[in-house]
Structure 1
Amino acid sequence: MNTAETHAAQVFLAHHDFVKGVALKYAPWPGLMEDIAQQVFLEFMAKESKWDLSNDARPLLATMTRHIAMRLWRERTRQQPVVVQKLADHIRLLAEEREQPPRYEEEIGVLRSCLQKLPEKSRELVELYYYNDIGTPEIAEQVNMKADTVCRALSRVREKLRECIQQSMRQGGSAHA
Protein backbone atom coordinates (compact mmCIF):
# COMPACT_ATOMS: atom_id res chain seq x y z
CA MET A 1 0.00 0.00 0.00
CA ASN A 2 1.39 3.40 -0.92
CA THR A 3 1.12 6.51 1.27
CA ALA A 4 -2.01 7.84 -0.46
CA GLU A 5 -3.79 4.48 -0.10
CA THR A 6 -2.76 4.26 3.54
CA HIS A 7 -4.11 7.76 4.17
CA ALA A 8 -7.38 6.93 2.38
CA ALA A 9 -7.78 3.75 4.46
CA GLN A 10 -7.15 5.74 7.66
CA VAL A 11 -9.75 8.34 6.64
CA PHE A 12 -12.29 5.61 5.97
CA LEU A 13 -11.57 3.83 9.25
CA ALA A 14 -11.97 7.10 11.15
CA HIS A 15 -15.51 7.35 9.72
CA HIS A 16 -16.39 3.65 9.78
CA ASP A 17 -19.10 4.02 12.46
CA PHE A 18 -20.59 6.96 10.55
CA VAL A 19 -20.76 4.82 7.39
CA LYS A 20 -22.45 1.99 9.33
CA GLY A 21 -25.02 4.45 10.72
CA VAL A 22 -25.87 5.76 7.26
CA ALA A 23 -26.05 2.19 5.93
CA LEU A 24 -28.47 1.17 8.67
CA LYS A 25 -30.71 4.15 7.94
CA TYR A 26 -31.05 3.38 4.23
CA ALA A 27 -31.07 -0.42 4.30
CA PRO A 28 -32.09 -1.73 7.73
CA TRP A 29 -31.89 -5.40 6.83
CA PRO A 30 -30.18 -7.69 9.36
CA GLY A 31 -26.57 -8.23 8.34
CA LEU A 32 -26.72 -5.84 5.39
CA MET A 33 -25.04 -2.97 7.25
CA GLU A 34 -21.66 -4.74 7.32
CA ASP A 35 -21.97 -5.71 3.64
CA ILE A 36 -22.65 -2.08 2.76
CA ALA A 37 -19.73 -0.81 4.85
CA GLN A 38 -17.40 -3.29 3.14
CA GLN A 39 -18.64 -2.30 -0.31
CA VAL A 40 -18.24 1.40 0.51
CA PHE A 41 -14.67 0.70 1.63
CA LEU A 42 -13.89 -1.18 -1.58
CA GLU A 43 -15.36 1.52 -3.82
CA PHE A 44 -13.78 4.31 -1.76
CA MET A 45 -10.36 2.68 -2.04
CA ALA A 46 -10.78 1.89 -5.74
CA LYS A 47 -11.19 5.61 -6.45
CA GLU A 48 -8.96 6.97 -3.68
CA SER A 49 -6.86 8.99 -6.12
CA LYS A 50 -9.96 11.00 -7.14
CA TRP A 51 -10.87 12.17 -3.65
CA ASP A 52 -9.67 15.35 -2.00
CA LEU A 53 -9.08 13.92 1.46
CA SER A 54 -7.96 17.24 2.89
CA ASN A 55 -11.67 18.14 3.27
CA ASP A 56 -14.24 16.43 5.49
CA ALA A 57 -14.88 13.00 3.95
CA ARG A 58 -18.28 12.52 5.61
CA PRO A 59 -20.39 14.07 2.80
CA LEU A 60 -18.61 11.89 0.24
CA LEU A 61 -18.94 8.78 2.41
CA ALA A 62 -22.60 9.55 3.15
CA THR A 63 -23.40 9.83 -0.56
CA MET A 64 -21.46 6.68 -1.43
CA THR A 65 -23.07 4.78 1.44
CA ARG A 66 -26.57 5.92 0.51
CA HIS A 67 -26.15 4.85 -3.12
CA ILE A 68 -24.62 1.49 -2.22
CA ALA A 69 -27.17 0.86 0.53
CA MET A 70 -30.07 1.61 -1.77
CA ARG A 71 -28.57 -0.58 -4.50
CA LEU A 72 -28.01 -3.51 -2.13
CA TRP A 73 -31.41 -2.94 -0.49
CA ARG A 74 -33.14 -3.14 -3.90
CA GLU A 75 -31.19 -6.27 -4.78
CA ARG A 76 -32.04 -7.92 -1.46
CA THR A 77 -35.72 -6.95 -1.48
CA ARG A 78 -36.31 -8.03 -5.08
CA GLN A 79 -36.43 -11.51 -3.63
CA GLN A 80 -39.62 -10.55 -1.72
CA PRO A 81 -42.79 -11.69 -3.51
CA VAL A 82 -44.97 -8.75 -2.48
CA VAL A 83 -43.84 -5.17 -3.02
CA VAL A 84 -46.12 -3.81 -0.30
CA GLN A 85 -44.58 -6.25 2.17
CA LYS A 86 -41.15 -4.89 1.24
CA LEU A 87 -42.24 -1.36 2.10
CA ALA A 88 -43.91 -2.52 5.32
CA ASP A 89 -40.73 -4.36 6.34
CA HIS A 90 -38.61 -1.30 5.60
CA ILE A 91 -40.83 1.00 7.63
CA ARG A 92 -41.11 -1.53 10.45
CA LEU A 93 -37.34 -1.84 10.67
CA LEU A 94 -36.83 1.92 10.47
CA ALA A 95 -39.05 2.16 13.51
CA GLU A 96 -36.64 -0.30 15.18
CA GLU A 97 -39.32 -2.77 16.13
CA ARG A 98 -36.96 -5.69 15.54
CA GLU A 99 -37.55 -7.27 18.94
CA GLN A 100 -41.24 -7.84 18.25
CA PRO A 101 -42.48 -10.69 16.04
CA PRO A 102 -43.45 -9.61 12.51
CA ARG A 103 -47.04 -8.53 11.98
CA TYR A 104 -46.98 -8.53 8.18
CA GLU A 105 -50.67 -9.00 7.43
CA GLU A 106 -51.75 -6.41 9.98
CA GLU A 107 -49.04 -3.95 8.91
CA ILE A 108 -49.81 -4.36 5.22
CA GLY A 109 -53.45 -3.49 5.84
CA VAL A 110 -52.43 -0.48 7.90
CA LEU A 111 -49.85 0.50 5.27
CA ARG A 112 -52.47 0.42 2.52
CA SER A 113 -54.70 2.73 4.55
CA CYS A 114 -51.80 5.05 5.30
CA LEU A 115 -50.86 5.15 1.61
CA GLN A 116 -54.38 6.31 0.78
CA LYS A 117 -53.98 9.23 3.21
CA LEU A 118 -50.93 10.57 1.38
CA PRO A 119 -51.20 13.45 -1.08
CA GLU A 120 -51.49 12.34 -4.70
CA LYS A 121 -47.93 13.45 -5.57
CA SER A 122 -46.52 11.35 -2.70
CA ARG A 123 -48.55 8.31 -3.77
CA GLU A 124 -47.22 8.77 -7.30
CA LEU A 125 -43.62 8.72 -6.04
CA VAL A 126 -44.30 5.57 -3.99
CA GLU A 127 -45.91 3.88 -6.97
CA LEU A 128 -43.04 4.73 -9.32
CA TYR A 129 -40.29 3.82 -6.87
CA TYR A 130 -41.69 0.77 -5.08
CA TYR A 131 -44.30 -0.69 -7.41
CA ASN A 132 -42.63 0.05 -10.76
CA ASP A 133 -39.06 -0.24 -9.38
CA ILE A 134 -37.95 2.94 -11.15
CA GLY A 135 -34.82 4.66 -9.87
CA THR A 136 -34.80 8.22 -8.57
CA PRO A 137 -33.05 9.73 -11.62
CA GLU A 138 -35.73 8.31 -13.93
CA ILE A 139 -38.51 9.39 -11.56
CA ALA A 140 -37.00 12.88 -11.46
CA GLU A 141 -37.24 13.10 -15.25
CA GLN A 142 -40.85 11.86 -15.26
CA VAL A 143 -42.10 14.26 -12.58
CA ASN A 144 -39.86 17.19 -13.59
CA MET A 145 -37.88 17.34 -10.33
CA LYS A 146 -34.22 16.99 -9.38
CA ALA A 147 -33.07 13.50 -8.35
CA ASP A 148 -31.96 14.66 -4.90
CA THR A 149 -35.38 16.28 -4.41
CA VAL A 150 -37.03 12.95 -5.26
CA CYS A 151 -34.76 11.18 -2.72
CA ARG A 152 -35.68 13.68 0.00
CA ALA A 153 -39.37 13.46 -0.90
CA LEU A 154 -39.28 9.65 -0.69
CA SER A 155 -37.52 9.90 2.66
CA ARG A 156 -40.25 12.24 3.96
CA VAL A 157 -42.94 9.90 2.60
CA ARG A 158 -41.35 6.93 4.39
CA GLU A 159 -41.24 8.95 7.62
CA LYS A 160 -44.92 9.94 7.25
CA LEU A 161 -45.87 6.33 6.55
CA ARG A 162 -43.85 5.11 9.54
CA GLU A 163 -45.57 7.63 11.80
CA CYS A 164 -48.99 6.73 10.41
CA ILE A 165 -48.35 3.01 10.91
CA GLN A 166 -47.06 3.52 14.45
CA GLN A 167 -50.04 5.68 15.37
CA SER A 168 -52.48 3.24 13.78
CA MET A 169 -50.88 0.23 15.49
CA ARG A 170 -51.08 2.03 18.86
CA GLN A 171 -54.76 2.64 18.20
CA GLY A 172 -55.48 -1.03 17.82
CA GLY A 173 -54.01 -2.02 14.46
CA SER A 174 -56.50 -0.27 12.22
CA ALA A 175 -55.61 2.78 10.19
CA HIS A 176 -59.27 3.72 10.33
CA ALA A 177 -59.30 4.00 14.14
Structure 2
Amino acid sequence: MSESIPTDVVTTTAQVQKLFVQHQQDLISYILSMEPNHSDATDILQEVFLAVSKKAESWNEGTSFVAWVSGFARIEVLRFQRKRGKQLRRLEPEVLEKVFADVDDSQEQFRERLTLLQNCLEKLPPRSQELIRFRYQEGYLPEAIAPLMGWTVNAVRVGLSRARQSLRECVARGAQHDRKN
Protein backbone atom coordinates (compact mmCIF):
# COMPACT_ATOMS: atom_id res chain seq x y z
CA MET A 1 0.00 0.00 0.00
CA SER A 2 1.46 3.37 -0.93
CA GLU A 3 1.47 6.24 1.54
CA SER A 4 0.59 9.69 0.34
CA ILE A 5 2.78 12.67 1.19
CA PRO A 6 0.97 15.26 3.31
CA THR A 7 0.00 18.33 1.27
CA ASP A 8 1.65 20.72 3.74
CA VAL A 9 5.02 19.00 3.12
CA VAL A 10 4.51 19.25 -0.65
CA THR A 11 3.57 22.94 -0.33
CA THR A 12 6.59 23.69 1.89
CA THR A 13 8.93 21.89 -0.50
CA ALA A 14 7.52 23.84 -3.45
CA GLN A 15 7.88 27.13 -1.54
CA VAL A 16 11.47 26.34 -0.57
CA GLN A 17 12.36 25.35 -4.13
CA LYS A 18 10.81 28.56 -5.46
CA LEU A 19 12.78 30.65 -2.94
CA PHE A 20 15.93 28.73 -3.86
CA VAL A 21 15.51 29.65 -7.52
CA GLN A 22 14.86 33.30 -6.58
CA HIS A 23 18.07 33.44 -4.51
CA GLN A 24 20.16 31.25 -6.80
CA GLN A 25 22.48 34.09 -7.87
CA ASP A 26 23.19 35.07 -4.25
CA LEU A 27 23.86 31.43 -3.41
CA ILE A 28 26.25 30.79 -6.29
CA SER A 29 28.14 33.96 -5.35
CA TYR A 30 28.34 32.77 -1.75
CA ILE A 31 29.57 29.34 -2.86
CA LEU A 32 32.11 30.92 -5.23
CA SER A 33 33.52 32.88 -2.30
CA MET A 34 34.51 29.52 -0.77
CA GLU A 35 35.08 27.43 -3.92
CA PRO A 36 36.26 29.70 -6.77
CA ASN A 37 36.02 27.14 -9.58
CA HIS A 38 32.73 27.97 -11.33
CA SER A 39 32.09 24.43 -12.53
CA ASP A 40 32.64 22.99 -9.05
CA ALA A 41 30.51 25.75 -7.51
CA THR A 42 27.66 24.88 -9.89
CA ASP A 43 27.92 21.21 -8.88
CA ILE A 44 27.83 22.25 -5.22
CA LEU A 45 24.78 24.46 -5.88
CA GLN A 46 22.96 21.43 -7.30
CA GLU A 47 23.84 19.40 -4.19
CA VAL A 48 22.55 22.25 -2.02
CA PHE A 49 19.27 22.24 -3.97
CA LEU A 50 18.85 18.51 -3.36
CA ALA A 51 19.68 18.83 0.35
CA VAL A 52 17.36 21.82 0.80
CA SER A 53 14.55 20.00 -1.01
CA LYS A 54 14.91 16.99 1.30
CA LYS A 55 14.93 19.18 4.42
CA ALA A 56 12.33 21.73 3.27
CA GLU A 57 10.03 21.03 6.20
CA SER A 58 12.76 22.16 8.64
CA TRP A 59 12.65 25.74 7.30
CA ASN A 60 10.46 28.07 9.33
CA GLU A 61 8.61 30.62 7.25
CA GLY A 62 9.34 34.08 8.60
CA THR A 63 13.02 33.34 9.20
CA SER A 64 15.79 34.32 6.81
CA PHE A 65 15.73 31.87 3.93
CA VAL A 66 19.16 32.98 2.69
CA ALA A 67 20.73 32.41 6.11
CA TRP A 68 19.06 28.99 6.34
CA VAL A 69 20.15 27.83 2.89
CA SER A 70 23.65 29.30 3.39
CA GLY A 71 24.14 26.75 6.16
CA PHE A 72 23.47 23.98 3.65
CA ALA A 73 25.86 25.64 1.19
CA ARG A 74 28.62 25.74 3.82
CA ILE A 75 28.16 22.06 4.59
CA GLU A 76 28.15 21.07 0.92
CA VAL A 77 31.30 23.14 0.19
CA LEU A 78 33.12 21.48 3.08
CA ARG A 79 31.90 18.04 1.97
CA PHE A 80 33.03 18.73 -1.60
CA GLN A 81 36.43 19.99 -0.49
CA ARG A 82 37.00 17.03 1.82
CA LYS A 83 36.03 14.63 -0.95
CA ARG A 84 38.44 16.32 -3.33
CA GLY A 85 41.13 16.71 -0.70
CA LYS A 86 40.84 20.50 -0.78
CA GLN A 87 40.97 21.70 2.78
CA LEU A 88 40.37 25.41 3.19
CA ARG A 89 43.97 26.40 3.80
CA ARG A 90 44.07 23.68 6.45
CA LEU A 91 42.10 25.71 8.94
CA GLU A 92 40.71 23.94 11.97
CA PRO A 93 36.94 23.30 11.91
CA GLU A 94 36.45 25.71 14.84
CA VAL A 95 38.14 28.50 12.89
CA LEU A 96 36.02 27.73 9.84
CA GLU A 97 32.86 27.85 11.92
CA LYS A 98 33.84 31.28 13.28
CA VAL A 99 34.54 32.50 9.75
CA PHE A 100 31.21 31.16 8.53
CA ALA A 101 29.41 32.70 11.52
CA ASP A 102 30.91 36.06 10.57
CA VAL A 103 29.71 35.51 7.01
CA ASP A 104 26.18 34.84 8.29
CA ASP A 105 26.31 38.00 10.41
CA SER A 106 27.24 40.09 7.41
CA GLN A 107 24.84 38.67 4.80
CA GLU A 108 23.46 42.14 4.04
CA GLN A 109 26.99 43.55 3.67
CA PHE A 110 27.75 40.68 1.32
CA ARG A 111 24.80 41.59 -0.90
CA GLU A 112 25.81 45.26 -0.90
CA ARG A 113 29.40 44.42 -1.83
CA LEU A 114 28.20 42.02 -4.51
CA THR A 115 26.07 44.80 -6.01
CA LEU A 116 29.08 47.14 -5.84
CA LEU A 117 31.25 44.52 -7.53
CA GLN A 118 28.69 43.99 -10.30
CA ASN A 119 28.53 47.75 -10.89
CA CYS A 120 32.32 47.96 -10.92
CA LEU A 121 32.56 45.06 -13.38
CA GLU A 122 30.29 46.94 -15.76
CA LYS A 123 32.66 49.93 -15.61
CA LEU A 124 35.68 47.87 -16.71
CA PRO A 125 36.75 48.07 -20.35
CA PRO A 126 35.27 45.25 -22.48
CA ARG A 127 38.59 43.35 -22.78
CA SER A 128 39.05 43.43 -19.00
CA GLN A 129 35.48 42.18 -18.53
CA GLU A 130 36.26 39.37 -20.95
CA LEU A 131 39.42 38.45 -19.01
CA ILE A 132 37.50 38.37 -15.73
CA ARG A 133 34.74 36.26 -17.30
CA PHE A 134 37.20 33.71 -18.71
CA ARG A 135 39.11 33.45 -15.43
CA TYR A 136 36.35 33.52 -12.85
CA GLN A 137 33.14 32.44 -14.60
CA GLU A 138 34.66 29.87 -16.92
CA GLY A 139 37.51 28.91 -14.57
CA TYR A 140 40.20 29.09 -17.27
CA LEU A 141 43.85 29.48 -16.34
CA PRO A 142 45.94 32.23 -17.98
CA GLU A 143 47.53 29.62 -20.25
CA ALA A 144 44.09 28.77 -21.66
CA ILE A 145 42.96 32.40 -21.86
CA ALA A 146 46.00 33.63 -23.83
CA PRO A 147 45.13 31.97 -27.17
CA LEU A 148 41.47 32.97 -26.79
CA MET A 149 42.45 36.62 -26.39
CA GLY A 150 45.38 36.52 -28.82
CA TRP A 151 47.69 37.60 -25.98
CA THR A 152 50.76 36.14 -24.34
CA VAL A 153 50.32 34.34 -21.02
CA ASN A 154 52.22 37.14 -19.29
CA ALA A 155 49.93 39.76 -20.86
CA VAL A 156 46.91 37.84 -19.53
CA ARG A 157 48.41 37.75 -16.02
CA VAL A 158 49.15 41.48 -16.13
CA GLY A 159 45.67 42.21 -17.51
CA LEU A 160 44.03 40.14 -14.77
CA SER A 161 46.14 41.83 -12.12
CA ARG A 162 45.16 45.28 -13.37
CA ALA A 163 41.49 44.34 -13.67
CA ARG A 164 41.46 42.96 -10.11
CA GLN A 165 43.19 46.10 -8.84
CA SER A 166 40.62 48.30 -10.61
CA LEU A 167 37.80 46.24 -9.10
CA ARG A 168 39.32 46.44 -5.59
CA GLU A 169 39.67 50.21 -5.85
CA CYS A 170 36.18 50.67 -7.30
CA VAL A 171 34.56 48.52 -4.60
CA ALA A 172 36.53 50.32 -1.88
CA ARG A 173 35.41 53.71 -3.24
CA GLY A 174 31.80 52.53 -3.36
CA ALA A 175 31.95 51.11 0.17
CA GLN A 176 33.53 54.32 1.46
CA HIS A 177 30.83 56.35 -0.30
CA ASP A 178 28.10 54.18 1.28
CA ARG A 179 29.57 54.64 4.77
CA LYS A 180 29.47 58.44 4.34
CA ASN A 181 25.78 58.35 3.39
**Larger-Rg structure:** 2
